[in-house]
Amino acid sequence: MSKSFDDILAKLKTTGKKKLAVAYAQDEHVLEAVELAHKKGIVDAVLVGDADKIAEIAKTLNMNLDEYEVIDVKDMQEAATCAVKLVHDGKADIYMKGSLDSKTFLKSVLNKEVGLRTGQTLSHVCVFEIPGIDRLLFLTDVAFLPYPTLEDKKQIIEYTVNVARACGVEMPKVAPLAAVEVVNPKMPVTVEADELTKACEAGEIKNCIVDGPLSMDLAIDPEAAKFKAGAEDRKIVGDADILLFPDIHAGNLTYKTIVRLATVKNGNILLGTKAPVILTSRSDSVDVKLNSIALAAVVAEDQKNGTI
């Protein structure tokens, strides 16, 4: 089981390189992350965008562009369409956002002719390595779906379980989070969490253990269970792998609190697509982008092997 991003990177040394298609690639942090991933043997890359600007940035990074395929497309939207088509056509395994706005990038993902849509709900998975926690934590959805429905949540669990299993967590524990750990009809989030738990017990949600509703402390802190009646008898006693948030506000606030107040490592990908999609912010660090490439690569490997 991967307990850190170093474990994920080590795992990738045993797999073949993946092909990464970068849309509008003239972004310093993106190119630096791609170069690091390339040097680590994780990916080869196709850089689609303004070739002159890509070359200018590459020079400052001492990046040898002879080791990459560069496709010169000056227009942002055309560059995105060109890059996503490579993945759609099976010429690349992973699609990554470069120096373009998220709206244009997502428009290319959803392009009916050359995009990566599957007809399923798209969702965002963020993976954290946090000091003091002996495993990776998978947070979802913290950046994409504002108010997921019950059916959305079932799909989100399926996607996130696939990511966790690709990282070596054989039977992930999923905690549908709420403010309380008991079902309260006046709090619809708790009712849905209970329905998700029952759906898993009935075999509708597979390859995981679902236990909800759970408060955050019971989900991630084993000590907290000792102080709440009945908490130690639950399926999850502070050892959740996947934290399923009730809406984007809870998820995003938690995500930003962690990254701003703690020294952590994280990476994230967008799922519900034909291939892994890396949708990072332009303000994300090189490390976040590298970790995201690593996550996408392990998921792409499992997709290639037909295990997810």
Banded model confidence at residue 308, pLDDT cuts 50, 70, 90: low
Check whether 282 has a pLDDT greater than 90: no
262: left (phi over 0), alpha (psi -120 to 50) or beta: beta
Residue-wise pLDDT for 133-159, tens only, equals 999 999 999 999 999 999 999 999 999
Please give the pLDDT value at position 80: 98
Please give the pLDDT value at position 161: 97
Banded model confidence at residue 228, pLDDT cuts 50, 70, 90: confident
Phi and psi of 108, rounded to 5°? -70, -35
- Calculate the average pLDDT of the chain: 95
Check whether 284 has a pLDDT greater than 80: yes
Please give the pLDDT value at position 283: 82
What's the CATH number of domain 125-261, 3.10.20.600, 1.10.3720.10, 3.40.718.10, 3.40.50.620? 3.40.718.10
Cβ atoms of 185 and 191 closer than 8 Å: yes
Please give the pLDDT value at position 304: 84
Residue-wise pLDDT for 176-208, tens only, equals 999 999 999 999 999 999 999 999 999 999 999
Pick from 5-19, 22-36, 192-206: least confident? 5-19
Per domain, the residue ranges of the chain are: 5-117+273-305, 125-261
Check whether 48 has a pLDDT greater than 90: yes
Q: Which CATH architecture has domain 5-117+273-305?
A: 3-Layer(aba) Sandwich (3.40)
Nearest CA-CA partner of 300 in 1, 3, 11: 11
Q: Give mean pLDDT, residues 20-33.
A: 97
Burial class (CB in 10 A: 0-12, 13-18, 19+), 90: exposed
Pull the structure tokens for residue 240: 């959740």
Banded model confidence at residue 78, pLDDT cuts 50, 70, 90: very high
Residue-wise pLDDT for 106-123, tens only, equals 999 999 999 999 989 999
Q: Give mean pLDDT, residues 151-178.
A: 96
Check whether 76 has a pLDDT greater than 90: yes
Please give the pLDDT value at position 126: 96
Please give the pLDDT value at position 14: 87
CA distance 122 to 277: 10
Q: Give mean pLDDT, residues 7-12.
A: 91
Q: Give mean pLDDT, residues 258-269.
A: 94
**What torsion do the CA atoms of 304, 141, 124, 224 make, to the nearest 10 degrees?**
-60
